[in-house]
């Protein structure tokens, strides 16, 4: 696939899953690698899924194998086609190509049914009429064995008939389930005769009304993997116990009880500071209108990150930087931000934008604004030039002017002090005009006409550089500055995570951008010099609205 440049072919990541694969290949347990990314279409993908996507698809790329996209759609009551489309879009946007057509667990409903019949015939599954509470009581506890269901010893013949009736809709929802007959005393709770099928009179987005019984995850997932020839089935840590059931099912089915059948391996899920990562919580934020939607730029969803200005390359790089392990960890935002900055610094055209404008009048400049050719990228000449203007009236940012410089280290504009205007001339502030409230309305200044593209001939040092926009060419723009969504590192630890939401996570500013941005594309990254990386919002239409992806690294304001 296309995103691999020579820099990352030099050093492949090292992790325990790659070690397992290397061993499996060396021992000829498998002669190829086939992974899968198996989301349930019950919500939008988030950056934790991106980690899994990069792992699964990345492994397939590096080992010249394949990776399937499979929708794990065994519970129609929670799923919607809207999510299927969004998931496909997000995976493709991240730069990955799934093997063949997208797969659905529901493609295999007939086969699942057949395998359930096989287990029944072997006396390994039975139809149980205990209700939910009874089942719970019979299950026992973490420290006490469970009790056998009274339906556990029904004959295979009778179970076959019962299961057939389940399928035909002869039983009500909740009236019975098909259960595996394993061990009610197992220390693995999931092995205490787990449910394999339940009755659900529900319309399914793929199979319509063809079924009224639906398989459970633990029964469907391992068989789906086996049917698709998956070699390494990767999931997160909370499924470690379930692996015993995964193995039990495949071990007891004639078609799959082979050494090269799929095996499950678990890695730790991504936890990011100052955000939440569960679909349920994300759903809640959307439903409670605490964010504007799944793609709110503050959301850790892939669609939110995309709208915020994150690039596919930066997310892949992030996944590589954090690695894969089994440690229950909390990753800092700084790694994510470093990943975007590294990518954007290379690819983002430079531009100038004034987010909080104050007018500057250059008193010794007369006539029409002057056209200036400025580099699109200071370290990459191949990116070409852009036209900017300098004239009698300009805007600079309020934060770049102080009437009196606080100390010798101050590098911005002050009265009687010189500063370089980025890509243009050196100016000196002369005096200010204020309104009744004492707020500065205009700064009067002079410019040195001999300093365009040159240092002052007399050798005087002008250290500071600030950005500006020429007033007659300035395009009004709205800037949305984002901050972390929560005020605490781990919101999930709070009694009510919504109570610690950061009320200042969005700040809106009105200012100007340079002319060159008139036709800026949504989601395309720009660096507004000295301000950060921004992209035009993908839903604002003709209005100039920019989302700040991330600010520039700042090693100075902390001092």
Cβ proximity of 544 and 513 under 8 Å: yes
The torsion defined by the Cα of 246, 250, 252 and 257, in degrees rounded to 10, comes to -140
Distance separating alpha carbons of residues 282 and 288, to the nearest angstrom: 10
Query: C-beta of 408: minimal distance to RNA in Å?
Result: 9
Distance separating alpha carbons of residues 286 and 274, to the nearest angstrom: 17
Nearby residues of 284 by Cβ (< 8 Å), 6 or more positions away: 498
Distance separating alpha carbons of residues 114 and 190, to the nearest angstrom: 22
Question: Is 218 or 537 the residue whose CB approaches RNA more closely?
Answer: 218
Query: C-beta of 333: minimal distance to RNA in Å?
Result: 9
Query: C-beta of 95: minimal distance to RNA in Å?
Result: 20
CA distances from 60 to 10, 102, 363 (A): 17, 16, 64
CA distances from 229 to 103, 247, 261 (A): 13, 15, 7
Extract the tokens encoding 216: 């459970």
Catalytic residue among 88, 269, 326, 428: 269
Query: C-beta of 437: minimal distance to RNA in Å?
Result: 26
- Which sign does the torsion angle of CA 453, 455, 457, 463 carry? positive
Nearby residues of 340 by Cβ (< 8 Å), 6 or more positions away: 309, 310, 311, 314, 318, 533, 549, 550
Catalytic-residue membership of 200: no
Extract the tokens encoding 331: 């990753």
Question: Is 329 or 441 the residue whose CB approaches RNA more closely?
Answer: 329
Query: C-beta of 478: minimal distance to RNA in Å?
Result: 21
Question: Is 11 or 289 the residue whose CB approaches RNA more closely?
Answer: 11
Catalytic-residue membership of 434: no
The torsion defined by the Cα of 325, 326, 332 and 335, in degrees rounded to 10, comes to 10
Question: Is 203 or 553 the residue whose CB approaches RNA more closely?
Answer: 553
Catalytic-residue membership of 269: yes
Cβ proximity of 112 and 74 under 8 Å: no
Catalytic residue among 279, 386, 392, 417: 279
Question: Is 279 or 480 the residue whose CB approaches RNA more closely?
Answer: 279
Extract the tokens encoding 23: 């061993």
Query: C-beta of 242: minimal distance to RNA in Å?
Result: 6
Question: Is 505 or 527 the residue whose CB approaches RNA more closely?
Answer: 527
Strand partners, 476: 512
Catalytic residue IDs = 40, 269, 279
């Amino acid at each position: 696939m296309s995103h691999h440049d020579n820099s990352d072919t030099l050093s492949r990541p090292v992790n325990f899953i790659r070690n397992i694969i290397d061993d499996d290949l060396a021992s000829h347990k498998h002669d190829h690698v086939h992974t899968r990314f198996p989301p349930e279409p019950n919500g939008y993908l988030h950056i934790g899924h991106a980690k899994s996507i990069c792992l699964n698809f990345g492994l397939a790329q590096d080992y010249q194998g394949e990776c399937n996209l499979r929708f794990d759609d065994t519970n129609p009551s929670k799923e919607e086609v809207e999510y299927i489309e969004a998931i496909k879009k997000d995976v493709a946007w991240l730069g990955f190509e799934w093997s063949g057509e997208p797969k659905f667990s529901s493609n295999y409903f007939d086969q699942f049914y057949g395998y359930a019949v096989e287990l029944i015939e072997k006396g390994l599954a039975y139809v149980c009429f205990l209700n939910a509470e009874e089942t719970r009581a019979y299950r026992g506890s973490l420290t006490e064995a469970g009790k056998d269901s009274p339906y556990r010893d029904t004959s295979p013949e009778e179970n076959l008939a019962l299961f057939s009736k389940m399928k035909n809709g002869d039983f009500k929802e909740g009236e019975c389930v098909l259960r595996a007959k394993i061990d009610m005393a197992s220390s693995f709770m999931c092995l205490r005769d787990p449910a394999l099928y339940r009755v659900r009179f529900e319309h399914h987005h793929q199979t319509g009304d063809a079924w009224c019984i639906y398989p459970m995850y633990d029964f469907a997932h391992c068989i789906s993997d086996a049917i698709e020839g998956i070699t390494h089935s990767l999931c997160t840590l909370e499924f470690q116990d379930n692996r015993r059931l995964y193995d039990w099912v495949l071990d007891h089915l004639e078609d799959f009880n082979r050494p090269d059948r799929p095996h499950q391996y678990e890695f730790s899920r991504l936890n990011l500071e100052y955000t939440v990562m569960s679909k349920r919580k994300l759903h809640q934020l959307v439903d409670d209108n605490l964010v504007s939607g799944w793609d709110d730029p503050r959301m850790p969803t892939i669609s939110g990150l995309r709208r915020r200005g994150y690039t596919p390359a930066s997310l892949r790089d992030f996944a590589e930087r954090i690695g894969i392990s089994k440690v229950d960890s909390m990753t800092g935002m700084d790694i994510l931000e470093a990943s975007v900055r590294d990518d954007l610094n290379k690819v983002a055209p430079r531009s100038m934008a004034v987010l909080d404008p104050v007018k500057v009048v250059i008193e010794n400049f007369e006539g029409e604004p002057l056209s200036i050719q400025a580099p699109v990228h200071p370290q990459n000449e191949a990116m070409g030039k852009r036209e900017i203007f300098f004239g009698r009236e300009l805007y600079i940012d309020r934060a770049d002017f102080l009437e009196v410089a606080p100390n010798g280290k101050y590098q911005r504009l002050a009265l009687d002090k010189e500063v370089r205007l980025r890509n243009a001339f050196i100016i000196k502030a002369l005096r200010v005009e204020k309104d009744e409230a004492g707020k500065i309305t205009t700064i009067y200044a002079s410019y040195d006409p001999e300093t365009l593209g040159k240092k002052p001939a007399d050798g005087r040092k002008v250290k500071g550089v600030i950005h500006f926009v020429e007033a007659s060419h300035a395009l009004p723009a709205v800037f949305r500055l984002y901050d972390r969504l929560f005020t605490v590192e781990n919101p999930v630890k709070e009694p009510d995570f919504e109570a610690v939401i950061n009320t200042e996570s969005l700040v809106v500013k009105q200012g100007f951008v340079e002319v060159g941005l008139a036709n800026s594309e949504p989601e395309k990254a720009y660096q507004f010099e000295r301000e950060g990386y921004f992209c035009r919002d993908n839903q604002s239409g003709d209005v100039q609205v920019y989302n700040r992806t991330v600010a520039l690294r700042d090693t100075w304001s902390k001092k």
